[in-house]
Amino acid sequence: MAASTSACFRPPPLSASAKLRPAELSSSSAISFPFNLSADVRGLGLRLTSSPLSSPLKVVCMRGSKGGKKEKTAKPDPVYRNRLVSMFVNRVLKNGKKSLAYFIMYRALRRVQEKTGQNPLAVLRDAVQGVTPDVAVKSRRVGGATQQVPVEVDTTQGKALAIRWLLVAARKRQGRDMVFKLSNELIDAAKGSGDAIRKREETHRMAEANRAFAHYPAAVVTKDSWEKSILKSDTPVLVEFHASWCGPCKMVHRVIDELAGEYQGRIQCFVLNADNDSEIAEDYDIKAVPVVLLFKNGEKQETVVGTMPKEFYAAAIERVLKP
């Protein structure tokens, strides 16, 4: 009995076709990473090599990440074969009862068909499109106070907001059960009425009222415009050196965008890609990214290396703005 149990956990032997043969290898007998260093490879006496880094710059204050970020997409539901229905089911779901979520969604769509005499998927699509916002508001610190700053939303984010608002409005309606309330809310949203539509209009009004607090993104500067924009500028200038592959640069870039809005008219903010304009990076001894330089009258005044809190950059700007 013990022998049979141990045999169940013994890994299968490597097939002959899967083993490496010296004749199939290149003449240099070199293998580049990544490679699974098994016992068969070690026995061949191969020389393992790794390729050098493609960029001379290094990243300051960045943790390693395991693989790239994969975008998740909803699978079609088993009845209508529609991804939008699956997105609703996943958000109706509570306490892991997915069968109940499917029951609620399918009964609601059936009631929509009985009440309107139309294709329930068309009504569902019209409801989501009618509720999907063009802009959203996000809380940000502007000038020492918290403001609802308008931000643009892409198609995926807008659809997620529309589904959330539809379900929230359906749960607040008066009715005997969720099937009744959800079906009525979908019908009203498809006709351009209901609490979800009012939520969208309220968001747009709030975004329009706070349009003045929208963030002003930093402008892009290159080698051709460096002298005119930086060295010959009458106002102090902030330049962020970044790279497209740098993760911390994206965090610093958001901070610089906020500072560009707060110090609008007092300082000009620019971003420069250190990979594309390496000559300027070499002139100012930029060996790591992100790096922020502050100029006044064409001369470098302050240097901030790495990812720092927003207050750190604001303090450097205030020192440069002093007469």
Given a contact cutoff of 8 angstroms between Cβ atoms, the answer to whether 238 and 228 are in contact is no
What residues act catalytically?
246, 249
Given a contact cutoff of 8 angstroms between Cβ atoms, the answer to whether 307 and 247 are in contact is no
What letter does residue 24 receive in the DSSP assignment?
A: G
What angle (nearest 5°) sits at the alpha carbon of residue 105, between those of residues 74 and 188?
Answer: 105
* Cβ atoms within 10 Å, residue 296: 17
Which amino acid belongs to residue 183? S
Which amino acid belongs to residue 1? M
Retrieve residue 17's tokens.
């076709």
User: How far out from the chain centre does Cα 159 lie?
Assistant: 16
Given a contact cutoff of 8 angstroms between Cβ atoms, the answer to whether 46 and 24 are in contact is no
- The C-alpha atoms of residue 291 and residue 281 are separated, in whole angstroms, by 10
What DSSP string describes 251-294?
HHHHHHHHHHHHTTTT-EEEEEETTTTHHHHHHTT--EESEEEE
Which alpha helices (H) appear in the chain, and where do they start and end?
Answer: 2-8, 39-44, 83-92, 98-116, 120-131, 155-172, 178-190, 195-209, 226, 247-262, 278-283, 310-321
